[in-house]
Amino acid sequence: MLREGKIWVGAGPGGPVCLLPAMANRHGLIAGATGTGKTVTLKLLAEGFSDLGVPVFLSDIKSDLSGMVQAGAGSEKINSRLELCGVNPDDFEYKAYPTVFWDVYGEQGHPIRATVQGMGALLLSRMLGLNETQTGVMNILFRIANEKGYALEDIRDLKAMLVHLGENAKEYTLHYGNVSTASVGAIQRAVAMLEDQGGDLFFGRPDVDIQDWLHVDPVSGQGRINVLSADKLFNNPTMYSTFMLWMLTELYDLLPEVGDLEKPRIVFFFDEAHLLFNNCGRSLMEKIEQVVRLIRSKGVGVYFITQSPADIPMAILGQLGNRVQHALRAYTPLDQKAVKVAAQTFRTNPSFDTEEAITTLKTGEALLSFLDEHGAPGVVERATILPPQSHMGAISESDRARVISTSPIGDKYDKAIPGVGAYMNLNPPQYIVMQPMAAPQVSPFPVSSTTPLAAQVSTAQQTMATFKVFDPTTGQYVEKQMDNMNVPEQPAQPAQPVYDAVAPVVQQVQPYVQQAVDAVQPVMQQAAQAAQPVIQQVQPYVQQAADTVQPIVQQVHEAVQPVVQTVQPVVQQAQEVVQPIVQPLQGIVQPTQTVPTIQVQPQVQQVQQMPVMVLDPTTGQYVQQMMNMVLDPTTGNYIPAPVAVDPKALAEQQKAAEKARKEAEKAAKEAARAAKEEEAAARRARTDQLREEAAERARRNDSVAGRIKNTAINTATRQIVSDLTKGIGKAVSGLFGDNNKR
């Protein structure tokens, strides 16, 4: 709600407390325990910025911010709060706000996508949870892709580059440092986990355009409120925080410097901000501090929403000039310390104890401290927060679907565009090129021929069933008979009446056409004879001799031009008469007479449509397709011309290949699991056998016979040991006794 061009946030004993638009890009903090009113304050500030014509981007974790698309309604509780703020409930205006829903997964809003390359190695490593060594390998991967010109657009491109990096680790280690296969494997496992969590939906094209976040409604002049539906994204806190940081970085990198404005260009609300700083490395923390410090000059305000100011690092907390502190609960010594720290961040108000007030605030109350027109922190005020003007709570699924379907940017982002990046460069499609053999020439107007038209077409179809297949291993063409090639038969009956109608006209036009050909033929023959020696001489050096041949071409052109101008009206008239009747016959017959031409510049390649055999990865078979072919002057063979990849077919092929790979991996895992189970069963059986044998021996020893046997063995053993000991003693005594006698 606006008051005198300011955002009216709440009312205290001293009157209304407002946020100055010119100071809104100094960032802010909304803190408080669960259930104390942080979401209402966030909603109130977002509505105020929208009324100022400032676009807003905020995350909706509990789906209760979606109600901004509908006007609110009065209630006894809301009226009571309005009266506390000094507002007449009858004068309070409820209204809706222009809202666009976004969702990384494309379920609760328009998809938000980014390319892997746009995310960058540092943020991507944090999203994957990599350590410093693995982050270094990721930086090497990005550098190699950049040097080779491989675009990293989606997860598929990243996985392809990881495979390439692992296969060539030794080569790259010499140039970029140690690249161990263990690190590559760890990154691949992290990528697989990210893919299972929906990361493959986030990476791709079309990537989001920052300008689509900066729109203002042309009718009401309100800033567009962009709501990110994060209820599902929040289940992966690391991905959520990294995604929000990526958006901040995008704003920082793309927006120009504007300095201090009367109002921000866009305001960014980061809910559950403590997640941004969890498990944050030194380099990433430095980047966050840099963005928060410098993005102010881009006209962007950043507001963090969290439970306690202690969740924010001191280096960043000191940059947050606008503060809204809801109640904190001090049940433990640690909580009491957090309350004390929060109280010390406010400018003291002599009328109350800030530390005590923080623990006694009611729901809907807060301590407010905003920057004044000079940029100095204002004295903290205890105030009651105004209620929002939009609907409180979530909207229905049907209302959300209606808003999404009528969004002005839905067609731009709702459909993904398959990219052509590193995967296509490292896994090019395979082709087998077929060149059709020369087909018999069929006269377009066989006036004097006795052969039926249908028979000529059938002969052409039979001849076209034979192809020369290009063998890429030898670079030569091999003739093949395509027995399974189904060439559609052309019906003869419908074409015959057309031929009968065309024949008289053709007979009338034929003399004019023949006259034109006869007039041009001598000149063309003379030009061909004159140019032939020159062409033969310069053929190996076409590129170098182009300047020499050009004057000859010009002379030939000047000689032919008058004749062409004379014949042109006659040919044009003939074409206008014949075209409406001949057009239905196109594709059935081919003209026999053509005007000879001279190709003076062989370096210009002509593209021709030819049938090719393309490998279908889903079936492993080759299927026929038409492809643009160009003549390779070095070999005299036709090779595929550069063509644009069919995104839909490519996506289907890749999907089928990925499915086959996963099925193979699943089968291998199941086989390994079965082998382990068999090995474990064998070990258990051997253990049981040994245990049974030991038990059997124990039973035998415990029996009467066993005891007698053991007693006999023990007695015999003792006797033998005794006799042996006595014998050794006598021998030793005798030995020493003999020595004494000597």
CB 457 within 8 A of CB 422: no
Cα Rg of the chain, angstroms: 43
CB 361 within 8 A of CB 327: yes
Q: At 444, is the pLDDT very low, low, confident or very high (cuts 50, 70, 90)?
A: very low
Region 168-174: mean pLDDT is 88
Q: Is 261 exposed, middle or buried (0-12, 13-18, 19+ CB in 10 A)?
A: middle
* Side chain identity, residue 568: Q
Both tokens assigned to 476: 């030569």
What DSSP letter does each residue of 316-374 carry, written as one string? HHTT--EEEE------SHHHHHHHHHHHHTSBP-TTS-HHHHHHHPPTTEEEEE-B-TT
CA 174 to mean position of chain CA atoms: 31
State the pLDDT at residue 421: 83
Please report, rounded to a whole number, the percentage of residues in the chain having pLDDT higher than 70.
70
Q: In this model, does residue 222 exceed pLDDT 90?
A: yes
Rounded CA-CA distance 688/711 in Å is: 30
Q: Which residue has the tokens 């005794």?
A: 722
Higher pLDDT, 135 or 283: 135
- Picking from 338, 270, 277, the residue whose alpha carbon sits closest to that of residue 304 is 270
Category of 4 on φ-ψ map: left (φ > 0), alpha (ψ -120 to 50) or beta:
left
Going from the C-alpha of 309 to that of each of 137, 305, 346, the distances in angstroms are 36, 9, 11
State the pLDDT at residue 527: 64
Q: In this model, does residue 31 exceed pLDDT 90?
A: yes
Rounded CA-CA distance 614/607 in Å is: 18
Question: Lowest-pLDDT range, 167-176, 349-358, 586-595?
Answer: 586-595
Q: In this model, does residue 468 exceed pLDDT 90?
A: no
Q: At 494, is the pLDDT very low, low, confident or very high (cuts 50, 70, 90)?
A: very low
State the pLDDT at residue 672: 87
Q: Which residue has the tokens 């940059």?
A: 319
Sign of CA dihedral 446, 447, 448, 451: positive
- Picking from 225, 275, 245, the residue whose alpha carbon sits closest to that of residue 70 is 225
Region 207-220: mean pLDDT is 88
Q: At 320, is the pLDDT very low, low, confident or very high (cuts 50, 70, 90)?
A: very high
Rounded CA-CA distance 274/621 in Å is: 55
State the CB neighbour count (10 A cutoff) for residue 739. 8
What DSSP letter does each residue of 158-213 carry, written as one string? HHHHHHHHHHTHHHHHHHHS---HHHHHHHHHHHHHHHHTTHHHHBSBSPPPGGGG
Q: In this model, does residue 483 exceed pLDDT 60?
A: no
Task: Give the CB-side neighbour count of residue 603, counting CA atoms within 13 A.
Answer: 9
Q: At 594, is the pLDDT very low, low, confident or very high (cuts 50, 70, 90)?
A: very low
The size of the chain, in residues, is 742
Q: In this model, does residue 591 exceed pLDDT 60?
A: no
Higher pLDDT, 53 or 497: 53
> Which run of H or of E encompasses 8?
strand 6-12
* Side chain identity, residue 150: Y
Instruction: Compute, in degrees rounded to 10, the torsion defined by CA atoms 511, 516, 519, 520.
Output: -140
pLDDT in tens, 507-533: 666 666 666 667 666 766 766 666 666
Going from the C-alpha of 633 to that of each of 461, 471, 628, 636, the distances in angstroms are 29, 17, 16, 5
Q: In this model, does residue 99 exceed pLDDT 90?
A: yes
Going from the C-alpha of 657 to that of each of 88, 155, 283, the distances in angstroms are 66, 15, 38
Higher pLDDT, 589 or 617: 617
- Produce one character per residue of 475-503: b if its CB has 16 or more CB atoms within 10 Å, e if not: eebeeeebeeeeeeebebeebeebbeebe
End-to-end CA, the chain: 128
Region 331-344: mean pLDDT is 87
Rounded CA-CA distance 190/195 in Å is: 9
* Side chain identity, residue 537: Q
Rounded CA-CA distance 566/568 in Å is: 6
Cis peptide leading into 206, omega within 30 of 0?
Answer: yes
CB 595 within 8 A of CB 522: no
Higher pLDDT, 109 or 739: 109
- pTM across the whole model: 0.58
Going from the C-alpha of 470 to that of each of 250, 438, 475, 616, 670, the distances in angstroms are 49, 16, 7, 17, 41
Going from the C-alpha of 631 to that of each of 435, 441, 549, the distances in angstroms are 11, 22, 22
